[in-house]
């Protein structure tokens, strides 16, 4: 189980090595993604709160990165955070997510990115439920529900 202390350690000192890397040109990403998907996943944008049906979807399944298909989250770790974005307590495995310190917009946060293709996913906060106390607040437009 990943803890907030480990998240901060990864963000400050380097992330776990991914199983593989996917690298594409800007042109290739534009061809693959819609304008909104590109804005969020490749330009670190944020979708409007409560704009996705994924917020209220709690059936079993696996969530992957929309850009490269890397498995990111199991629905058993999903919870209703009331924030308007899908939220999870843990990634599917330690090296699925990479972390960056994010001090933009006058806030100190930790950005979460796909460790395989560097797609912006959202942010992680130390205010979640359960043993880990983490809340991975994800942009639904950057996720694909596999099952």
Domain that holds residue 106: 4-145
In Å, how far are 65, 87, 104 from 127, measured between CA atoms? 23, 11, 20
Total structural domains within the chain: 1
In Å, how far are 73, 95, 108, 111, 121 from 46, measured between CA atoms? 19, 23, 16, 12, 9
Q: CATH code at 125?
A: 2.170.150.20
Q: What is the pLDDT of residue 46?
A: 94
DSSP, collapsed to helix, strand or coil, labels residue 99 as strand
Prediction pTM value: 0.94
Residue 53 has pLDDT above 80, yes or no: yes
- Is 68 labeled as catalytic in the residue annotation? no
CB 102 within 8 A of CB 8: no
Residue 104 has pLDDT above 80, yes or no: no
Which is the catalytic residue, given 68, 114, 117, 137? 137
Region at 82 (left for phi over 0; alpha for psi -120 to 50; beta for the rest): left
Q: pLDDT tens, 118-136? A: 999 999 999 999 999 999 9
Q: pLDDT tens, 59-75? A: 999 999 999 999 999 99
């Amino acid at each position: 189980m990943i803890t907030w202390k480990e998240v901060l350690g990864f963000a400050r000192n380097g992330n776990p090595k991914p199983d593989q890397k996917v690298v594409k040109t800007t042109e290739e990403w534009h061809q693959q993604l819609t304008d909104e998907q590109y804005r969020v996943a490749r330009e670190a944008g944020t979708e409007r709160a409560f704009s996705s049906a994924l917020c209220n979807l709690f059936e079993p399944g696996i969530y992957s990165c929309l850009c490269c298909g890397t498995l990111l989250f199991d629905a058993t770790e999903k919870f209703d955070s009331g924030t308007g974005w899908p939220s999870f307590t843990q990634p599917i495995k330690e090296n699925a997510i990479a972390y960056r310190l994010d001090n933009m917009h006058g806030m100190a946060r930790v950005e979460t990115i796909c460790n395989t293709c560097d797609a912006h996913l959202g942010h992680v906060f130390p205010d979640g439920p359960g043993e880990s106390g983490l809340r991975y607040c994800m942009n639904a437009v950057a996720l694909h529900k596999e099952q």
